Structures are given as structure tokens and as C-alpha cells.
């Protein structure tokens, strides 16, 4: 086969065969294909799309491009979650301990943030001592003993996605449904869990800007998971505003802790976490949705999920004493964003808020940038809230003083204040089940 012919076929709108797709993925993984030909095909896919059969073939080939995890010792209890990426999304920190204390086995590999979106691994690394890199045996044994283990993505799993994702990131080809489906589902299939909940974000802070696109993405991922014999549920959730009030790394860990300790201060975060956890528990325990919802609420409100969180973090070397130390990880500098007028916070460009956090040092503009764990945003007024002139809308935190001015400008450009309140939006759009 010749890469030239494959690119030409897709450029002209043709359908690639399974053998052409397998050949392409193996050339990506073994390094025999040059980046310029890989990216030419990615752009052709972006522009011409892929059929369901092509997307399934690409997903399967990527899932088998490296090692796969064998979680068969957990039988039907193995569970995983994936978010399509958002701002202020600290749900794994809450969902994993809730599901684990109800019997699910979470052996999960999580990602780092890039661009405007945050990543669970960066948040966990804000906890001193927490180890995000474990040997395969230690990973599985920790999950078996404690019900949860969360580490960074293993290089040997789905190497094709690592290469393709890095190239998509710099060639404006990330926001393409067949490429997102194959990227996410190949990682989930290689990760080995039997029950998977997908948090498909919808709105200005996510890749899917409309509910119709989010539904299409969710349906395609659920179908592929089902075809591969997995229990998969997708929950489409709002990302037109950041989730909760904190955006950053340490500030997000602290907010997740508050939810785990029973706080009702962040109702959107609590609700999304309970919904995702109920899906995982319902699938992995084989119980109906109502019983699962009741069980997850009890686990959170009784403090059992909080105890499980402490057990998990300690098991991976994290120092849990910092959770009660208000001076830990304090930013050296801060600035308050004040409202210039009375009115309602209306439209919100959540991607802009994510970029504001990145500017402060909470995220990476480039792969090798170093994170400032103290950096972040504490949002005081969210979409729909009334604000008075001079009132604080948000606090910006950083240990890099020089970032404050640009971050403040970005924050102000990311929302508008209007006389009339905005139309309310759903927090949870819908659930799509593949069982
Ligand atoms: N998250 C992923 O893992 N892959 C994508 O392509 C987009 C979001």
C-alpha cells in the first residue's frame, strides 16, 4: 500500500477499507509514516468525514496499537469514566471514590490538561507525594485492594492516539467527530474496563458547541462500545459555564474535597458527580437507576465516599494532612475582577475562562510548560447571577505576578453583563445508554 493513494482516496471523499486503516495506524505507531503524510490524511478526514464502518475500524486499530490492560480479575465490576474535556471539571475526584465505596473497581488512566481544558493528572499532582506513575502490577493491585487507582496514561497503551492527538493538536484537526470518537474509545477499550461512563461536555468550553453535535458524538461512542461488548453510558452535560466555582489545580482539589465533605455550595458539581457515579454503579452492580441514585447519594452524604477518597490518596503516596492546612499551596499573588456595571452575568465564553486560568499558570500552552499548582480562578458570580458595579466577580490566583494583567483582560472578555438575565440552560441534557 502507498500512503499517497490513501490520502488521495479520502481527499476525494472515498471510503477507506479496514485494511487501509489498519495499515495507516500501524505506520503511525511504528514511526514509518512521516508526520506530513499523517497530517494530510487527518485534514482530509476532518474535511470529508468518516463512515461508521471507517470510524469503528480506526478505533479498533488504535486500541490494539500497543498493550491492552487485562482487568478480567475484577469481572463485571471494572469501571472507568471519561470526560470529553472542560473547564473546572474535577468530577473524577468525586465520582471515583463514590463508585469505589459501592463496590466498583476503578483502575483508571487519566490525562493532563492541554490548552483551555484541565486534566485530572495535573490536579492529583498538586497533592504532595501523590504518585501518578506506577508499574502495571502496582496499578492493578492498588485498584484491587482499595477499589481505586488513578495514574497518568501509560505510554505503551494506545501509542497511535498519542501520536495522532499531538499532531491534531497542532494542525487544527481536534474538533472532528470520527477522530474524537476513535481517540476516546480506543483509549477506553485499551484500558480494559467493562463499564464506562462518558461525560460528553456541551457548550462554549468544550469541543462540542451544540447539543446536536454532543448527541451525535455520544451516540457514536456508545455504539462502538456496545459493539465491542462493553456497557457504555453517555451523559451530556453543560459546559457553557465552568463546573463548580474553582478552575485550576489545587483550587479544584480543594473544591472536590468540599463536595466530598458534604458541602452543598456547588450544586452543579454535586449533581453532575452524582449522575455520573449513579450510571457507573448501576452498570457495574447491575442495579436499577433509582436504587443506584439513592446509593450514591447515601455514599456521599454518609461520609463514606470521603473516607474512600482519603484511603485512595494515601494508598498512592499523597499527603492527606495538607487537606486541613489552609496555608498549603497558597498563591503568592492575587487580583479581584470587579464588575464595571450592575447587571446579570449573561453570555460566558468558557473556553476564554479556561485560557485565563492557563495564562495564570494553571495549564499548558505547550506540552512541556510547567504548571503552577497554586494558579487558578475562584468564580464568585456565575451565568445568571446579578452583580453590582464594583462587586467582585472572580478572584485570580497565581505565583507568577506578571500573568495577572493579561489574565484579568481575558476574564473580562470572556463574559458579558446585561440588563436582562440570560435564558436558563439545562445542566444535564440527556443520557444515552448502550446496555
Ligand atoms: N479527548 C480525547 O481524549 N481525545 C479527543 O480527540 C478529544 C478529547
Q: What is the pLDDT of residues 85-102, one digit of tens each?
A: 899 999 999 999 999 999
Phi, psi of 81 (to 5 degrees): -130, 155
Judge whether residue 374 has pLDDT over 90. Answer: yes
Q: What is the mean pLDDT of residues 54-77?
A: 96
Average pLDDT score over the chain: 96
CB-based contact 408:398 (threshold 8 Å): no
At residue 270 the predicted structure's pLDDT band, cuts being 50, 70 and 90, is very high
Would the CB of 85 count as within 6 Å of ligand 1? Answer: yes
- Over residues 234-258, mean pLDDT: 97
With cell 507568577, the residue in question is 400
Mean pLDDT score, 346-351:
90
In the three-class reduction of DSSP (H, G, I as helix; E, B as strand; rest coil), residue 212 is classed as: helix
Let me know if 226 is a catalytic residue: no
Whether 389 and 340 have beta carbons less than 8 Å apart is answered as yes
Residue 78 backbone phi and psi in degrees, to 5: -70, 135
- Rounded Cα gap, residues 155 and 66, in angstroms: 9
The pLDDT value given to residue 216 = 96
Q: What is the structure's pLDDT at 376?
A: 98
As a whole number, mean pLDDT of residues 189-208 equals 95
Say if ligand 1 is within 6 A of residue 198 CB: no
Q: Nearest 5°: CA angle at 188, between 185 and 193?
A: 140
The answer to whether residues 396 and 335 touch, using CB atoms and an 8 Å cutoff, is yes
Q: What is the mean pLDDT of residues 37-45?
A: 98
> How high is the pLDDT of residue 226?
92
Q: Are 299 and 102 in contact (CB under 8 A)?
A: yes
Give the CATH number of domain 3-49: 1.20.970.10
Rounded percentage of the chain residues whose pLDDT exceeds 70 = 100
Substitution site in 177, 180, 190, 198 for ligand 1 pocket (most atoms within 8 Å of beta carbon): 180
Instruction: Check pLDDT > 80 for residue 115.
Output: no
The DSSP-derived string for 89-134 is: --HHHHHHHHHHHTT-BEEEEE---BTTB--HHHHHTTSTT-----
The response to whether residue 84 sits with its C-beta less than 6 Å from ligand 1 reads yes
Q: Please confirm, yes or no, whether 168 is among the known catalytic residues.
A: yes
Q: How confident is the model at residue 117 (pLDDT cuts 50, 70, 90)?
A: confident
The span from the first CA to the last CA of the chain, in angstroms, equals 38
Is 82 noted as a catalytic residue in this protein? yes
Query: Which residues sit opposite 430 in a β-bridge?
Result: 236
Q: Does the pLDDT value for residue 410 go beyond 70?
A: yes
Residues 6+ apart with CB under 8 A from 239: 86, 87, 89, 201, 202, 203, 204, 205, 206, 350
pLDDT at residue 296 in the model? 98
CATH topology of domain 72-322: Pyrimidine Nucleoside Phosphorylase; Chain A, domain 2 (3.40.1030)
Q: How far, in Å, are 125, 235, 282, 370 from residue 113 at the CA level?
A: 12, 21, 29, 12
Least confident of 14-23, 114-123, 207-216: 114-123
69 Cβ partners below 8 Å, 6+ apart? 107, 136, 140, 157, 190, 191, 192
CA angle 148–200–176, rounded 5-degree value: 120
Residue bearing the CA closest to ligand 1, atom 1: 84
- Asked if residue 122 lies in contact with residue 317, where contact means CB atoms within 8 angstroms, the answer is no
What cell was used for 402? 506578571
CA distance 89 to 93: 9
Nearest CA, atom 3, ligand 1: 184
Higher pLDDT, 386 or 348: 386
Paired sense of beta strands 343-348 and 386-387, if any = antiparallel
Q: Categorize the per-residue pLDDT at 435 as very low, low, confident or very high, splitting at 50, 70 and 90.
A: low
Residue ranges of domains in the chain: 3-49, 72-322, 333-418
pLDDT, one tens digit per residue, over 376-401 is: 999 999 999 999 999 999 999 999 99
Task: Write out pLDDT tens, residues 298-324.
Answer: 999 999 999 999 999 999 999 999 999
Q: What is the pLDDT of residue 353?
A: 96
Provide φ and ψ at 87, rounded to 5°. -120, 125
Give the tens place of pLDDT for each residue, 134-158: 999 999 999 999 999 999 998 899 9
Give CB contacts under 8 A, 24+ apart, made by 8-11: 10/41, 10/44, 10/45, 10/48, 11/44, 11/48
- 109 CB within 6 A, ligand 1: no
Residue 19 in grid coordinates: 485494511
* Domain boundaries 333-418, corresponding CATH code: 3.90.1170.30
Count of Cβ atoms closer than 10 Å to residue 419 Cβ: 9
Ligand 1 center to 50 CA (angstroms):
17
User: What does the pLDDT average to over 425-435?
Assistant: 91
The best mutation among 84, 164, 166, 239 to test binding of ligand 1, ranked by most ligand atoms within 8 Å of the C-beta, falls on: 84
As a whole number of angstroms, the distance between CA 45 and CA 54 comes to: 10
Measuring from atom 8 of ligand 1, which residue has the nearest CA?
A: 84
Q: What is the pLDDT of residue 375?
A: 98
Amino acid at each position: 500500500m502507498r500512503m499517497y493513494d490513501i490520502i488521495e482516496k479520502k481527499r476525494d471523499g472515498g471510503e477507506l477499507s479496514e485494511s487501509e486503516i489498519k495499515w495507516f495506524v500501524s505506520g503511525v505507531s511504528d514511526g514509518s509514516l512521516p508526520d506530513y503524510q499523517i497530517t494530510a490524511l487527518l485534514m482530509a478526514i476532518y474535511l470529508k468525514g468518516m463512515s461508521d464502518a471507517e470510524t469503528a475500524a480506526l478505533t479498533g486499530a488504535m486500541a490494539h496499537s500497543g498493550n491492552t490492560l487485562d482487568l478480567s480479575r475484577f469481572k463485571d465490576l471494572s469501571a472507568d469514566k471519561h470526560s470529553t474535556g472542560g473547564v473546572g471539571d474535577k468530577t473524577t475526584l468525586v465520582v471515583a471514590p463514590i463508585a469505589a465505596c459501592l463496590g466498583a473497581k476503578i483502575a483508571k488512566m487519566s490525562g493532563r490538561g492541554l490548552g483551555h481544558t484541565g486534566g485530572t493528572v495535573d490536579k492529583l499532582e498538586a497533592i504532595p507525594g501523590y504518585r501518578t506513575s506506577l508499574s502495571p502490577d502496582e496499578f492493578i493491585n492498588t485498584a484491587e485492594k482499595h477499589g481505586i487507582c488513578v495514574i497518568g496514561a501509560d505510554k505503551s497503551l494506545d501509542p497511535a492516539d498519542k501520536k495522532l492527538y499531538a499532531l491534531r493538536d497542532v494542525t487544527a484537526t481536534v474538533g472532528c467527530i470520527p477522530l474524537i470518537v476513535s481517540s476516546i474509545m480506543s483509549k477506553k477499550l485499551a484500558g480494559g474496563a467493562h463499564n464506562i461512563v462518558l461525560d460528553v461536555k456541551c457548550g462554549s468550553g468544550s469541543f462540542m458547541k451544540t447539543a446536536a453535535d454532543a448527541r451525535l458524538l455520544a451516540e457514536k461512542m456508545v455504539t462502538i462500545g456496545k459493539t465491542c461488548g462493553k456497557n457504555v453510558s453517555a451523559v451530556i452535560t453543560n459546559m457553557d459555564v465552568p463546573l463548580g466555582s474553582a478552575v485550576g489545580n489545587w483550587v479544584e482539589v480543594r473544591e472536590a474535597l468540599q463536595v466530598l465533605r458534604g458541602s452543598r455550595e456547588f450544586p452543579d458539581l454535586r449533581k453532575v458527580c452524582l449522575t455520573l457515579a449513579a450510571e457507573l454503579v448501576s452498570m457495574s452492580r447491575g442495579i436499577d437507576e433509582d436504587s443506584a441514585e439513592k446509593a450514591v447519594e447515601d455514599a456521599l452524604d454518609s461520609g463514606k465516599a470521603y473516607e474512600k477518597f482519603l484511603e485512595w490518596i494515601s494508598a498512592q503516596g499523597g499527603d492527606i494532612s495538607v487537606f486541613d492546612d489552609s496555608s498549603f499551596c497558597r498563591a503568592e499573588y492575587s487580583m479581584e475582577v470587579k464588575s464595571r456595571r450592575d447587571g446579570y452575568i449573561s453570555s460566558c465564553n468558557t473556553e476564554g475562562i479556561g485560557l485565563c486560568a492557563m495564562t495564570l499558570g494553571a495549564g499548558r500552552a505547550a506540552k512541556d510548560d510547567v504548571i503552577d499548582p497554586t494558579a487558578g480562578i475562584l468564580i464568585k458570580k456565575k451565568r445568571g447571577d446579578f452583580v453590582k458595579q464594583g462587586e467582585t466577580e472572580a478572584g485570580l490566583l497565581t505565583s507568577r505576578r506578571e500573568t495577572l494583567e493579561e489574565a484579568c483582560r481575558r476574564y473580562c472578555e470572556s463574559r458579558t453583563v446585561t440588563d436582562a438575565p440570560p435564558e436558563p440552560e439545562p445542566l444535564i441534557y440527556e443520557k444515552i445508554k448502550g446496555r
